[in-house]
Structure formats: C-alpha cells, structure tokens
Amino acid sequence: MKSGLICAGSVLMVLGGISQAQAADLTISCGAVGAELQLCQAGVERWEAKSGHSVEVVSTPNSATERLSLYQQILGSHSGDIDVFQIDVVWPGMLAPHLIDLNKHLPKGATDGFFEAIVDNNTVDGQLVAMPWFTDAGVLYYRKDLLEKYDLEVPATWEALTEAAHTVQAGERKAGHKDFWGYVFQGRAYEGLTVNALEWIASYPDGGTIVDDDGTITVNNPQAVRALSQAAGWIDDISPHGVLNYTEEEARGVFQSGNALFMRNWPYAWDLVQSEQSSIRDKVEVAPLPAGGPDGESAGVLGGWNLAVSRYSDNPDMAADLVAFLTSFDEQKRRAIDGAYNPTLPALYQDDEVLAAVPFFGTLYDTFTSAVPRPAAVTGDNYPRVSNAFFNTVHEVLSGNVAADQGLERLQGELERIKRRRW
C-alpha cells in the first residue's frame, strides 16, 4: 500500500517539491523504492549539518521507465528546478547533454578507489557525467527454512528452480497455505522485465544478449527461445498470473508476506525482508541467480544508480559537493549497513561491519563485479526504444499471446526497424 501511495503521489510531490524549491539552496531527486527515500534524506541531512546549506529532497516514481520520462521532461525544458539527479546505470549516454562534467567541479582523483567499469560507464566523451552511488545485480532470494523442510538444495539451474518450486508449492498448498507460490519476479512491461529476461537469456550458453557490442541484433537465437519458453511456462504454474504486472515492490510484497519460495530481486530487498516487521525474518538467504542448464552460467544484470548534476543548476559547485559527500566512503558504508545498498568502492566489500550486516556481499562479490550490462552504450539514444520493444515482446510471450520463436522473430524485425534510425 505504501509504495502505491508513493507512486500515486510522486508526481504531485515532485510538483510540490519544485514549487518549494526556491526556499532551499539545492534540490535532489532520489528514488523511493524500499528504504531509499529515508536513506537519502538521512544522508542529505548529514551534508546539511556539515555545509550549512539546505536541500530539498524530491521523490520520484518507483518504475525506472517512468522516472526517466520525468527526468527527460524536466531536463528537456532546460529547467533548473532539480540540481542533483539519481540516474540509472543505463542513462548516462542518453542524458549526458544535460549534465555537467564533474571532473571540472570536483578535486582531482575524485574517482579513485571506485569500480573502474562503472566510472567508465559514466564517462561520456571524456566527461564524467555522474558519480557511482550504488551498484546492483539481480540475485535470488530463497526461503532456507522451506528448502530444508523439503530436503532440497539451493537451485543452480533454472530447471532445478522450477522443480524445487513445484515440490514446495504443492506441499505447502496441501498443508493449507492456498496462496503459496514458487517464484516471483518482475514481469510488468517495463525496464525491470528487460533486466529479468536478459538474465534468463544470458544465463544460457550462446544465449547472448539483445544486441552485441558491435551493434548486431543477436536476440533471435535458439537458446533465447528456450529461455523465454521456459519462463512462459512458469506463469500460472509456479508464478501467479499477476506477476505480469509486478515491479520490484509488488514481488517483494508477495515474498515478504511469506507467500513465495523464490524471488528475483536487487540486494536492497535484503534489509527489508530481514527487518523486524517482516514475517520471514531469519528464514531467508541470498544466492546467485540460476544458470541456464548444466553448461550455462549465472548471469545477474548490472544495475545501479549514480548521482549527476544538471547543467541548468544555479549552483553546480555546491551540487557537486553534495554528490561527492553522498558517494563518499563513510556515506556508502552507512547505506550498505542500514539499507543493504551495494557500495561502488571495492574496499567496502572487505569491511567487517558491512559484511556483518549483509553477509552475502562477501560470498556474491563475483556476481556484483561480473554483472551483465544492458546494451545501452551501443544503442545510444535508441536504448529506451530497444528495451521497450524487448520487454513488450517478452511480456507477450509470458502472457501466452505469442510463441517464443515467433515473438523473437517479430522482435528481430522491430529492432531492425529501430536500427534503421541509426544506432
């Protein structure tokens, strides 16, 4: 309910925030998924205390797709209402024309100690358009109590996951738990589905990506057909039909109320499913996502968010200082401990306090550092279009409206149509 209200009210809040912005020295927009908003607010308050400036925090829609639309409207109108933007790892190329080069506003060596791959990702034409704030990769949450109860192992492949989900779901329903499901993920037609489906496809040997690094369309291949057909089989079998309209928070709602065995989500959910209000506290563990068959490899898609300063900001130096503070070692450590947000500083993955709060940061380090990127760099401005065509096709396949091979065939045509408008 809470996330829904936030979602519904976010536009109003943004407008409200903008109208009040005159009062504050700076305005920052951060996400409101899970505990994001509170964490952002707390970080901003620390900077306020340190610098003596005041900052307005504006919350934005939970869906990344909608957040991007909102940003594009604000930036497209050259509005300086928001100074600091929290931007997704796939947006720097798209939004670069509207963002300042942080190298010119931050002291030398500001990016030392950060994951190089993310810094590279945020560098467009030699300009550092955003500072890495937290990184992300898809992980598998599972109910260890239930796997133990049915004497099952943590699934290493999607096939094993399907089987385990069958067993436990049947057993739990027999025991009177009628709403119990095997697996929940993000199936709504939005960016999150692109991420989920790319994880399925990339986990199969030769499953490939949507578009490879050379810009060739690779998505229409037998392994991808296999991956999507399998996923389509989950609907109404081990996943509720409603998963076709789930984003991160809806999936977490089902899992956290104890109604699902497995959940695909980002690391942020850890802190919430382990919170005191959670009905499954201490019954959950995190593993890498399953691989596609015995020859496949686990493939978490790279996510993560960065902080960027708008070119239309009246106080770019002050805003850059806020960005530097929020992405600093101390602040990232606090966010890792309080909210299970993955640091972008490798050093923090060896920090004892961090590992005590989020044990899987140590064991899943490889998952986070070798995550699969989305084809945002190669498709450039057309990435939203490519992603949209992809998630709409996957959604159709999952809904059972079209077979996987036909869907991918059609997607190929559609991507060629998009490619014609230069990428």
Partner 1 sequence: MTVRESQSALSDNARYARDGRASGSLRRERGTRVRRQRVRAAWLFLTPMLIVLAAVAGWPLFRTFWFSLTDASLSSLEGAHFIGLENYLVFDNGWYGILADPLWWQSVWNTLYFTLVSVSLEAVLGVIVALVLNAHFRGRTLVRAAMLIPWAIPTVVSAKIWAWMLNDQFGIINHMLLGIGVIDAPLSWTADASLSMWAVIMVDVWKATPFVALLVLAALQMLPSDCYEAAKVDGIHPVRVFFRVTLPLITPALLVAVIFRALDALRVFDVIYVLTSNAASTMTMSIYARQQLVEFQDVGYGSAASTLLFMIIALVTVVYLYLGRRQLGGES
- Chain residues binding partner 1 by CB under 8 A are 1, 4-5, 7-8, 11, 63, 65, 68-69, 72-73, 75-76, 97-98, 179, 187-190, 240-246, 253-254, 259, 381, 384-385, 388, 392, 395-396, 399, 401, 417, 420
Nearest distance in Å: CB 180, partner 1: 11
Pairing mode of beta strands 131-137, 302-309: antiparallel
Nearest distance in Å: CB 181, partner 1: 9
Dihedral sign computed on CA atoms, order 330, 335, 337, 343: negative
Contacts of 275 (CB under 8 A, 6+ apart): 281
Burial 314-328 (b: 16+ CB within 10 A, else e): eebebbbbbbbbbbb
- Alpha carbon separation from 81 to 20, 28, 36, 96, 386 (Å, rounded): 10, 9, 21, 18, 30
Comparing CB distances to partner 1, the nearer of 319 and 402 is 402
29: phi then psi, degrees, rounded to nearest 5? -110, 120
- Residue in 342, 363, 209, 193 with CA at minimum distance from that of residue 288: 363
Dihedral sign computed on CA atoms, order 234, 258, 357, 321: positive
- Residue in 290, 276, 285 with CA at minimum distance from that of residue 146: 285
Nearest distance in Å: CB 194, partner 1: 13
Beta bridge partners of 262: 142, 183
**E strand or H helix at 413:** helix 404-419
Comparing CB distances to partner 1, the nearer of 36 and 250 is 250
Comparing CB distances to partner 1, the nearer of 211 and 336 is 211
Comparing CB distances to partner 1, the nearer of 246 and 349 is 246
Comparing CB distances to partner 1, the nearer of 369 and 392 is 392
Nearest distance in Å: CB 104, partner 1: 21
Comparing CB distances to partner 1, the nearer of 121 and 259 is 259
Sheet of 84-88: strand order equals 55-59, 26-30, 84-88, 302-309, 131-137
Comparing CB distances to partner 1, the nearer of 8 and 175 is 8
Comparing CB distances to partner 1, the nearer of 75 and 319 is 75
Nearest distance in Å: CB 413, partner 1: 9
Q: Are the CB atoms for 28 and 309 separated by under 8 Å?
A: no
Nearest distance in Å: CB 141, partner 1: 17
Copy the structure tokens of residue 105. Answer: 């506003």
Nearest distance in Å: CB 421, partner 1: 8
In whole angstroms, what is the distance from residue 368 CA to residue 267 CA?
Answer: 10
In whole angstroms, what is the distance from residue 20 CA to residue 42 CA?
Answer: 20
- Residue in 222, 149, 212, 229 with CA at minimum distance from that of residue 386: 212
Q: With left for phi above 0 and alpha for psi between -120 and 50, is residue 228 left, alpha or beta?
A: alpha
Comparing CB distances to partner 1, the nearer of 259 and 306 is 259
Comparing CB distances to partner 1, the nearer of 190 and 368 is 190
Sheet of 181-184: strand order equals 181-184, 260-265, 139-143, 284-287
Nearest distance in Å: CB 265, partner 1: 16
3-state secondary structure of 199: helix
Comparing CB distances to partner 1, the nearer of 31 and 132 is 31
Nearest distance in Å: CB 235, partner 1: 9
Nearest distance in Å: CB 140, partner 1: 20
Nearest distance in Å: CB 128, partner 1: 20
